[in-house]
A and B are shown apart, each in its own frame.
Chain A
Amino acid sequence: MSKIWTLFKREYRAAVRTKSFIISLILVPIMMGGGFAAMIIMENNKDTDDKHFVVIDHSGLMTDPLSKALDIRNKEEIIHSNTGEKTDATYVVEFLEPDFQDPEGQRLGLSQRVENQELHAFIEIGPDILHPAGEEKQAYLKYYSQHSFNDQIRYWFQNVVNNKLREFRAAELNLDEAQAEELLWWINVEGMGLVTVDKKTGEQQEAEKTNELQSFLVPYVLLILMFMLVMMSAIPQLSSVMEEKNEKIAEVLLGTITPFQFMMGKVLGGIGVSLTTAAIYVGAGVFTLKYMGMESLIPVEVLPWFFIFTVLFILMVGSGMAALGATCNDNKDAQSLTFPGILPAIIPMFLIAPVIADPTGPLATTMALIPPFTPTVMVMRMASSVTIPMWQPVVGLLGVILFTIFTVWIGARIFRTAILIQGQKPNLATLYKYAFKG
C-alpha cells in the first residue's frame, strides 16, 4: 500500500503543479460562467435601434388597435421609469393596403425590402381572424422575416392581435369587461415539490415550488462537472501510461512495484486531482449560491452521492484507459483506442434531455442501472426535483462497485501483460488474449 501511496503522491504532484492544470482550473469556470455572463449582458444590452415593420391587414380590424398598442409601447413601455432611457427598440409600423391584383408581387417586394434591411419584418393578417370557424385558412397571422423562428418580436404582435380579438368577441356577446376578463382567465399549473417531515424537529415542511433552475440547471451542472472530472483525470491515463511504456519508465518501476500497484497508483493520483478540482468547484459553487441567496439550489443530499459515484467512475474508466494505454505503441494506437474508452462518459451526454424531462421514466431508470452509465445518469436523476425510489441509487452503487472491481481486475491483467510488449497492435483479439490468457 505504501508503494501505491508513493506513486499516488508523484502522480498527484506532477499533475497539480503543471501550469496547464492551474490554467484549466481557472479557465473552465471562467468560460462556463462567461457564457452565462454573456447571456445576461446580452439581455441587459438590448438593441434599441428602431425596427421597421409593414403590416398588411386583410381583416381591416387591426390597424387601429395595433397603432394604439404601438403608441403605448413606444412611448411608455420601453422607457425606463426612473432614468427615462430607452430599454428596447422602437417599433415603426407602416400599414399597407393589400394588393388584391398581385398579392405575390407585393410579398416579394416586401421580402426584398427585408433583405435590403429597410424592414425588420412584415406581417400579414388574414381576413377571417375574428371568426375563424370554417374559414381556418383565411384566419392567419403571418410574420415574414429572415430568422422568423428565432425572432421573439413576433410574439408581441401575436399578443396584441389575440387580445384585441378576444375583446371584439366579448363585445359581440355583450359581455362587460369584468365578465370578459373572467371568461378568459387562464390558470397555470404550479410545479410543487412534496410535503416532507423534518427529521430533526419532526415538523411538517411545506411543499416548495419547483422551478426550471432546479429541474434542469442542477442536474445539468453536476453531469458536466462529472464529465469534466473524468476527462481531466481518467482519459489522460491512456497517453500517460503509453508514454511511460515507450520511455521505459515502466520497466524501471516494475522492478520495484507490481503492475497492479503501478496502475492503481496512477489511477488514484488521477482521482486525487479530480477530487481537488471538484472540491474547489463545488466549494466555489456553494459559496456563490449562498452569497446570492439561492441556497435552495444546492443539492446537499446529492453531493455525497456525487462524490462517491465520481470516484468510482474515474476508477472504472481510469483503469480501463490505463490498461488500453499499456497496449499502445504510438499515438496512432492511442487515437484509435481513446474513443471506445470514453464512451461511458460520452453516451450520458446524449441522454441529458430525456433523463431530465422524465427522471423516473423507463429510459432514465434503465440507463441508471447499467453500471457504466449509472454514475452520471443516477446523479442527474437524483439532482432533479423528482424523488426517485431509494433502492435505485443503492442498487446502482452496488452495480458500479462490482463493475469497477471487474474493470480494475481485467485492466490490471491487460496492463501487466501489455506494459512490456512492444510492437504488438492492440485489437480485440490481443486485448482478450492479455486479459484471459496472460
Chain B
Amino acid sequence: MNIIELSGITKTFGSVAAVNDLSLEVPKGSIYGFIGPNGSGKTTTIRMIMKIMYPDRGKLLVDGQENNFERLKNVGYLPEDRGLYKKMKIGELLQFHGELNDGTDLPNRINYWLERLELKSYKDKKVETLSKGMKQKLQFIATILHQPELIILDEPFGGLDPVNADMMKDIILELQQKGATIIFSTHDMAMAERMCDYIFMIYKGKKVLDGTLEHIQDQYGNDTLRIQSELGAEALKDLKGIENVNNFGKLQEIRLEGGVDPQQILADLLKKTRISKFEITKPSLNDIFIRIASPERKEAGNE
C-alpha cells in the first residue's frame, strides 16, 4: 500500500518548471531516498507533499488524502533550512512543537529523546546556546516527538559529525522498524545506498531514476571495475576501452566503454603492474549520480 502517490505533478515558478510531470509512489513502511543536484526540485517536491506548496497540475495523495488545505496529521517534517526560536528553552520548544503536532505523553517523550540524543543537560538552556549540530538534533527530536507515521527529512545528515550522523541513522532505521515511512533527501550517496529501500532521483524537475538500488544499478549493467595495483592510477594511463577513471588513491574505479571485455583490461594491466584487487561490479549510486548530473552529460544532453 502506498502512503504517497504523485501523478503528473507540475510546479512552475515564473517560466521555470521546478517540478515537471512527476509521478511517484512511496510504499508504506519504506525508506525512500530523494537525490538530485542542488536546485533540481527535491525541496519543491517535498514542500508539495507537505502541502506547504500546491502543484499547478497533477494529483497528489498523501495517506489517501487528496489536495486540500488541511494540514497532514501524523507527519513529521524536518526542512532543509532549520528554523528554531532562539530565545526559547529547549524543553519548552519541544513541548511547543509536540503540542502543535497533537503529541501525547509529551514530558516523558521529551525526556526520553533528549537523553537519547545526548541533550538532556541542555533542557533548561536557550536554543541560542546550542551548537549547529546540537540544533540539528533538537530539530530532529521536534520532528519525531509525536511518533509520526510519515517522516520527511530534508538533508537530515548535513552538518552532523560522523558519530551524530550514525546515531541519527540508527534512530531512523529504528523508526522504520516500528512502522514509520521515511522519506529523506540527501547528497550523501553512500548513506542513501546503505539505508534506502528505494531511491528516486530528480534532475531539472524531471524524474530520472526511481526504484531499488539493484534495479537502478541493473539499468547500467556490470560496466564498472574496482582495481588495486602497485602502480595505482599510473597503470591506467593510455589503457584502451576506459570511459572514465575515478581515482580514490589506493583504489581506482573504472567505467568501461560499451562492449569492452573486462578480461582484456585485466590482461593489459597485468603487462604493466601487479594487481592485488580486480572486481567487476555494478556502478555505485555516486557514479550513477555523476553520470546523470555531470556537466559533460548536460552538454551532451543539450546537443
- Which residues does A use to contact B, with CB under 8 Å? 2-3, 6-7, 10, 14, 244, 247-258, 420
Listed from nearest, the 7 A-B pairs whose CB atoms lie closest are A248-B83, A255-B77, A249-B83, A248-B81, A6-B99, A252-B83, A251-B79
Q: A6-B100, A7-B100, A420-B52 are in contact. Are A14 and B87 (CB under 8 A)?
A: yes
Asked if B96 contacts A10 (CB within 8 A), the reply is yes
CB pair B84 A252 closer than 8 Å: yes
- Which residues of chain A are within 8 angstroms of B47 by Cβ–Cβ distance? 251, 420
B79 pairs with A258, CB closer than 8 A = no
- Let me know if A251 and B100 touch, CB within 8 A: no
**Quick one: which of A2, A6, A10, A252 contacts B79, CB cutoff 8 A?**
A252
Q: Is B50 an interface residue (CB 8 A)?
A: yes
B240 contacts partner chain A, Cβ-Cβ < 8 Å: no
Partner of B50, one of A2, A14, A255: A255
Inter-chain contact A249/B52, CB cutoff 8 Å: no
Interface residues on B, range: 20 to 34
30 pairs, CB–CB < 8 Å, chain A vs chain B: A3-B71, A6-B100, A10-B88, A14-B85, A14-B88, A248-B79, A248-B81, A248-B83, A249-B83, A249-B84, A249-B85, A250-B83, A251-B47, A251-B79, A251-B83, A252-B77, A252-B79, A252-B82, A252-B83, A252-B84, A252-B139, A254-B50, A255-B50, A255-B71, A255-B152, A256-B71, A256-B77, A258-B69, A258-B70, A258-B71
What is the chain A residue whose CB lies nearest that of B146? A256
Chain B contact residues: helix, strand, loop or mixed: loop
Alpha-carbon distance between A10 and B83 when the two chains are bound, in angstroms: 15
Q: Is A257 within 8 A of B69, CB to CB? A: no
B53 near A256: Cβ-Cβ < 8 Å: no
User: Taking CB as reference atom, which chain A residue is nearest B77?
Assistant: A255
* Residues of A contacting B175 in the complex (Cβ-Cβ under 8 angstroms): none
Q: How far is the CA of A251 from the CA of B142 in the complex (A)?
A: 14
Other-chain contact of A247, B83, B100, B101, B142 (Cβ < 8 Å): B83
User: In the complex, which of the residues A6, A10, A244, A254 contacts B52, with contact meaning CB atoms closer than 8 Å?
Assistant: A254
Contact residues in B for A253 (Cβ distance below 8 Å): 83, 100
Determine the chain B residues whose CB is within 8 A of the CB of A7 once the complex forms. 100
Shortest distance between the CB of B66 and any CB in chain A (Å): 16
Encode contact with A along B24-62: 1 for CB under 8 Å, 0 otherwise: 000000000000000000000001001011000000000
Nearest-CB distance from A8 to chain B (Å)?
11
Known: A14-B88, A244-B83, A247-B83. 13 other contacts (CB 8 A): A6-B99, A10-B96, A248-B79, A248-B81, A248-B82, A248-B83, A252-B79, A252-B82, A255-B75, A255-B77, A256-B77, A256-B100, A420-B53
Minimum distance in angstroms from A92 CB to a CB of chain B: 65
* Cβ-defined contact, B71 with A257, below 8 A: yes
